[in-house]
Structure 1
Amino acid sequence: MKIARIEAFPIQSDMKGALYKGDGTEGRRPPWTKGAEVAGPMSGYARFKKLRSTWRYDGAVGCLVTAEDGTTGFGMTRYDLPVIHLVNDHFAPLLVGEDCMAIERLWDMMVRMASPYGVAGIPSYAISAVDLALWDLKGKLLGQPVYALAGGPVRDDLFVYATGNDTDWHMELGFRGTKLACPYGLFDGLDGLARNEALVAERREMVGPDVELMLDCWMAFDVEFAVRLSERLKPYGLRWIEDCLLPENAEAHDELRRRLPGQTLATGEHWYALQSFATACTRRMADILQPDICWAGGFTGCRKIAQLAEAHGLEVCLHAGANTPYGQHLSVTSPAIRWAEYFVGGAPGVPLEENRVFPTMPVPVGGRIAPSDAPGFGLEMTDALLESMRR
């Protein structure tokens, strides 16, 4: 079966309005995402310190791959017009007419097409969108869920932890693990260390000793700040600290690993090329690798990363892996993936079903999740839903 058409287009980032049309549940209070300060790489600049939205360039992207018989597959990614341009004006014209079932070949072709301007970053987002759509299409053509095409599940379901700072709501939902967004970073100095410790201490007291607790530092530290904070947080039994450093400086990651031998480190959300993860594996720069399936080469790319990690005795936990059917399907197929992350951005009191992207997508129940067994990724992409997603 040949590829007849590939199209990338802008879609809504928040699907609640499209799916529920204003009839959703009223939250008990505004969600933590409404105005909470979260540390990041721009925190040293006062007018950008408070909210990431003041400086980030974003924009959700959908990708539809159509086969000769009219069957379609759908993928998603981010970063708006640059990604859309790459897919529609570079990849699509060269991939149309290729065998839509030959996904390894198509993935390799896209990587090589992007090599003159570099695979990592924006091109990796574009590759991810096309790759996910191809896996969805293949599953639909063969009448199989993607996890079956990838070799079948290695476990029946996944342990899921919640990310966000509405910790009480996470406990009410039955999660047995929760990750905090760190509010203060390098530029907050000693006061930032103290206030971060106070937050972690408060939340450890709230959840008790039998719930896993993690800290997401979102590129807001240098090595020294990360070491000092880790030392202060030892009494609170963190499962890991995450994404402490800017992604490109491999030597800094090596140094952090050397200076914190007893601290579990997680990172990789902002790595994209397969070679970056290969380097991290061979140098053991972190214990847990966290690629995003919509950013780091799609299902094919993240499957390769998981296999690399498994061969090196490392763990993978996909960034927001339980928030999409894509991540759910890959996660159950890999021995290296033991946990899944679910970002909770909705208000406390609003059921998780009301903040999902796809209306039939499974959401965590009691801190566990299993993917749909419908063909492809089980997206149930009707023409009406697709139209409602476009912006």
Structure 2
Amino acid sequence: MKITKVETFQVAWGEGKGRSAFVRIETEDGLTGLGEASPMQGGLASLTIIAADMAPFLVGQDVLDHAVLLDTLFHKCVKLGPEGAATAALAAIDIALWDLKGKLFGQPVYKLLGGAWRTSLPCYASVGGNAWRTVDQVVEVVERRVAKEKPAAVKIRWDGDRTKLDVDIPGDIAKARAVRKALGDDFVLGFDANNGYSVGGAMRVGRALEDLGYTWFEEPVQHYHVSAMGEVAQRLDITVSAGEQTYTLQGLKDLINAGVRMVQPDIVKMGGITGLMQCAAIAYANGVDLVPHQTQPSIGHLANLHVLSTIMHLNKPVELADGWERVGSVFKNPSQPDADGLFHLPTAPGLGAEFNEEELRKRSIPISV
């Protein structure tokens, strides 16, 4: 089945709510597949790469030559990085091709990946912006999210100024302690430093988190200091996680070799569904947890669910980030977990996305070159 059209577009969610980056691939039989790229700066760089360098190559190609097409495009654009915008572009293409293949064969993507171990997946509430809040404000936001979403775990994120390290270590520990007190000793908690500490600062915070019974400590130091990340991981007892800013399998391998034991690549940055399945194999081979970072509540989320359903030893919930409700007027499923805090795996062909075409067109901003 030949590809006849590749469209790139942003979707604006409203004032101050940002833009998502999508690609639509159409075939000669009229089937379409939808993919999503990383939304950093609206995903504009990735969409431009697709429009200028990938779409002309893809038109006329066979959808089922999926792996050959991806590897060809990777090496065609390799001098762009290859990390970042180029790999996010490939992720969007990959997800769209899987969506198409599922529709072509009349099967949900997870069936094409080998089947699901589970069709319902618990969520964890990923609560951002805490660098700028007081202790009381952090507790208030966390308690509100827990009451609304019934998550299996909570991760508190800092989202601070990445040009500064160790800004307020006593204050950070105080916030972590207050959340533990509010939710009780048995509640599963994670702490995302968003690259906010030096090695020494990370050790100090990490020891406090161990005493407080936190389960994981995410990106304590700058992501590009792989050896430093590994040093912190090996010196602390708490599980140190990293990988949301890792874009290649080689980069993931380097993190694991450094000592990181929970890896968090993002499906819209790291090769899409194909890339995340490869990450799952590497994690399994090395005995580390795969807990993908994933903050996009539409196509990226559905793609992530399909992959996670296939992982035998999945032992962490699925990320539910801030602003999840923003896609409710366009994508109808599943924009929120159910009353028990569970996401349910779509069973329709492809990704199983259901959306309002008229609303999608109204919010779309075409990207072309």
Shared fold by TM > 0.5? yes
Q: Deviations over 1:55-75 (max 9, x none)?
A: xxx852110000111111011
Residue 364 and residue 59 in structure 1: after superposition, are their counterparts in 2 closer, same or farther (change >3 A)?
Answer: closer
For residue 342 of structure 1, what is the amino acid of its counterpart?
Answer: E
Match of 1:63 among 16, 23, 36: 23
For residue 170 of structure 2, what is the amino acid of its counterpart?
Answer: A
Answer yes or no: is the 8 Å Cα contact 1:310–1:335 preserved in 2. Answer: no
Residue 212 and residue 126 in structure 1: after superposition, are their counterparts in 2 closer, same or farther (change >3 A)?
Answer: same
Per the alignment, residue 303 of structure 2 pairs with: 326
Per the alignment, residue 9 of structure 1 pairs with: 9
Say whether residues 1:171 and 2:146 are aligned partners.
yes
Per the alignment, residue 143 of structure 1 pairs with: 106
Percent identity between the aligned chains?
Answer: 28
| Cα distance in 1 between the residues matched to 2:216 and 2:161 | 17
Residue 269 and residue 227 in structure 1: after superposition, are their counterparts in 2 closer, same or farther (change >3 A)?
Answer: same
Per the alignment, residue 39 of structure 1 pairs with: none
Give the alignment of 1:243-282 within 5 angstroms: 243-260=219-236, 262-281=237-256
Residue 192 and residue 380 in structure 1: after superposition, are their counterparts in 2 closer, same or farther (change >3 A)?
Answer: same
Please report the TM-score for the alignment, with normalisation by the length of structure 2. 0.86
For residue 7 of structure 2, what is the amino acid of its counterpart?
Answer: E
Q: Which runs of 5+ in 2 are unaligned?
A: 128-137
| Cα distance in 2 between the residues matched to 1:226 and 1:344 | 24
Per the alignment, residue 298 of structure 1 pairs with: 272
Answer yes or no: is the 8 Å Cα contact 1:320–1:340 preserved in 2. Answer: no
Give the alignment of 1:203-222 within 5 angstroms: 203-222=179-198
Q: CA deviation at 1:121?
A: 0.8
For residue 364 of structure 1, what is the amino acid of its counterpart?
Answer: P
Q: CA deviation at 1:270?
A: 0.6
| Cα distance in 2 between the residues matched to 1:134 and 1:318 | 21
Say whether residues 1:238 and 2:214 are aligned partners.
yes
Answer yes or no: is the 8 Å Cα contact 1:145–1:375 preserved in 2. Answer: yes
Match of 1:289 among 238, 253, 263: 263
Q: CA deviation at 1:143?
A: 1.3
Answer yes or no: is the 8 Å Cα contact 1:362–1:370 preserved in 2. Answer: no
Residue 383 and residue 185 in structure 1: after superposition, are their counterparts in 2 closer, same or farther (change >3 A)?
Answer: closer
Q: Which runs of 5+ in 1 are unaligned?
A: 18-33, 35-52, 347-351
Per the alignment, residue 316 of structure 2 pairs with: 339
Q: Deviations over 1:218-239 (max 9, x none)?
A: 1122211111111122221000
Q: Secondary structure at the match of 2:260?
A: coil
Per the alignment, residue 359 of structure 1 pairs with: 332
Answer yes or no: is the 8 Å Cα contact 2:125–2:320 preserved in 1. Answer: yes
| Cα distance in 2 between the residues matched to 1:284 and 1:196 | 26
Cα RMSD for the two superposed structures:
2.4
| Cα distance in 1 between the residues matched to 2:316 and 2:158 | 21
Q: CA deviation at 1:184?
A: 6.2
Answer yes or no: is the 8 Å Cα contact 1:184–1:192 preserved in 2. Answer: no
Answer yes or no: is the 8 Å Cα contact 1:107–1:300 preserved in 2. Answer: no
Q: Secondary structure at the match of 1:11?
A: strand
| Cα distance in 1 between the residues matched to 2:231 and 2:218 | 15
| Cα distance in 2 between the residues matched to 1:280 and 1:174 | 32
For residue 333 of structure 2, what is the amino acid of its counterpart?
Answer: T
Answer yes or no: is the 8 Å Cα contact 1:184–1:196 preserved in 2. Answer: no
Please report the TM-score for the alignment, with normalisation by the length of structure 1. 0.81
Give the alignment of 1:118-197 within 5 angstroms: 118-164=81-127, 166-172=141-147, 173-182=149-158, 187=164, 189=166, 192-197=168-173
Match of 2:289 among 315, 320, 339: 315
| Cα distance in 2 between the residues matched to 1:256 and 1:72 | 45
| Cα distance in 2 between the residues matched to 1:232 and 1:184 | 19
Say whether residues 1:94 and 2:94 are aligned partners.
no
Q: CA deviation at 1:151?
A: 0.7
Q: Secondary structure at the match of 1:93?
A: helix
| Cα distance in 2 between the residues matched to 1:388 and 1:377 | 22
| Cα distance in 1 between the residues matched to 2:108 and 2:290 | 22
| Cα distance in 2 between the residues matched to 1:300 and 1:59 | 24
Residue 156 and residue 84 in structure 1: after superposition, are their counterparts in 2 closer, same or farther (change >3 A)?
Answer: closer
Q: CA deviation at 1:254?
A: 2.4
Q: Deviations over 1:81-127 (max 9, x none)?
A: 32122101101111211111232222212211122332211101111
| Cα distance in 2 between the residues matched to 1:88 and 1:384 | 23
Answer yes or no: is the 8 Å Cα contact 1:322–1:342 preserved in 2. Answer: no
Answer yes or no: is the 8 Å Cα contact 2:45–2:85 preserved in 1. Answer: yes
Q: Deviations over 1:182-241 (max 9, x none)?
A: 36689474x711111111111111111221011111112221111111112222100001
Answer yes or no: is the 8 Å Cα contact 2:159–2:194 preserved in 1. Answer: no
For residue 88 of structure 1, what is the amino acid of its counterpart?
Answer: A
Residue 118 and residue 214 in structure 1: after superposition, are their counterparts in 2 closer, same or farther (change >3 A)?
Answer: same
Answer yes or no: is the 8 Å Cα contact 2:229–2:258 preserved in 1. Answer: no
Answer yes or no: is the 8 Å Cα contact 1:331–1:340 preserved in 2. Answer: no
Per the alignment, residue 379 of structure 1 pairs with: 353
Q: CA deviation at 1:354?
A: 6.4
Residue 368 and residue 204 in structure 1: after superposition, are their counterparts in 2 closer, same or farther (change >3 A)?
Answer: same
Q: CA deviation at 1:297?
A: 1.0
Answer yes or no: is the 8 Å Cα contact 2:152–2:317 preserved in 1. Answer: no
Answer yes or no: is the 8 Å Cα contact 2:165–2:197 preserved in 1. Answer: no
Q: CA deviation at 1:157?
A: 2.1
